[in-house]
Amino acid sequence: MSHFDAVLFDLDGTLIDTNRLIVTSFQHVFRTRLGLEMAPEEIYRFFGEPLRTTMTRFAPDRADELTEAYREYNLSVHDRLVRRFPGVNDAVAALRQAGVRLGVVTSKYTPLARRGLSVCGLEAHFPVVVGEDQTERHKPEPDPALLALELLGVQPGPRVLMVGDSPLDLRCGRAAGCRTAAVGWALDRAALAAGEPDFWLERPSDLVALVLSGAVSA
């Protein structure tokens, strides 16, 4: 019997490497629409929040326009820039084979989230993908995690693990009554540590050990 009945994953920066894709897309929109040059480090702090929320920070009266421009450009370069994180696909496959229920909870638009999973060969493992278009409230509120669990047929509680690379993921999972795990391949490890995850996963194989046997230290 596994230590957890279900695992909910963030997508970008957790399951698939979209760091370059996201930075490039933001830089393109900020440069062409707002005349702003942004360094990658300035963009990292917006990772994990809904796209329109970020655009509203920069131009509240043009948020819809900027969001659409981002999505259009992002889609045009998506398949070329998305990468796999080494070991993640094997870890996810091992969990699915063991009968653990798996879902994705992302601040990304659902169709694009599914596109990323497909490009990286992960789509078959995730029958449930909850994007920002499916709930009124988003991370760090518990709503998307609770919806994912409802769709998976799993009760919220300590036998559910939320895995992510952002403090927003940890807060969402905790608010939904789940245990939380932070990935060691996150860009901003300091911010993630401040979110006080229950567990750290230094490599994808740690996820399998934790979920199936509880073998990773808190």
Helix, strand, or coil here: 59? Answer: coil
Tens digits of residue pLDDT in 66-95: 999 999 999 999 999 999 999 999 999 999
Asked if 31 and 96 sit in the same domain, the reply is: no
Residue 186 domain-assigned (yes or no): yes
What's the pLDDT score for residue 172?
97
Mean pLDDT, the chain, as a whole number? 95
Residue 89 domain-assigned (yes or no): yes
Asked if 44 and 91 sit in the same domain, the reply is: no
* CATH label of the domain that carries residue 99: 3.40.50.1000
What's the pLDDT score for residue 146?
98
Beta-bridge mates of residue 163:
9, 181
pLDDT at 29 over 60: yes
The total domain count for the chain is 2
Tens digits of residue pLDDT in 38-61: 999 999 989 988 999 999 999 999
Asked if 189 and 110 sit in the same domain, the reply is: yes
User: Which of 81, 101, 127 is the endpoint of a domain?
Assistant: 81
Tens digits of residue pLDDT in 104-139: 999 999 999 999 999 999 999 999 999 999 999 999
Asked if 28 and 71 sit in the same domain, the reply is: yes
User: Which of 81, 97, 126 is the endpoint of a domain?
Assistant: 81
* CA 176 – CA 50 distance, rounded (Å): 19
Distance of CA 143 to CAs 139, 150, 170, Å? 8, 10, 13
Residue 1 domain-assigned (yes or no): no
Pick the catalytic residue: 5, 10, 198, 206? 10
Asked if 163 and 209 sit in the same domain, the reply is: yes
pLDDT range class, residue 188, cuts 50, 70, 90: confident
What's the pLDDT score for residue 217?
53
Active-site residue, 206 included: no
Asked if 208 and 192 sit in the same domain, the reply is: yes
Conformation bin of residue 125: beta by default, left when phi > 0, alpha when psi is -120 to 50:
alpha
What's the pLDDT score for residue 2?
74
User: Which of 81, 99, 126 is the endpoint of a domain?
Assistant: 81
Domain assignment of residue 186, given as a range: 6-17+83-213
Letter for the amino acid at 159?
R
* CA 40 – CA 24 distance, rounded (Å): 8
* CATH label of the domain that carries residue 59: 1.10.150
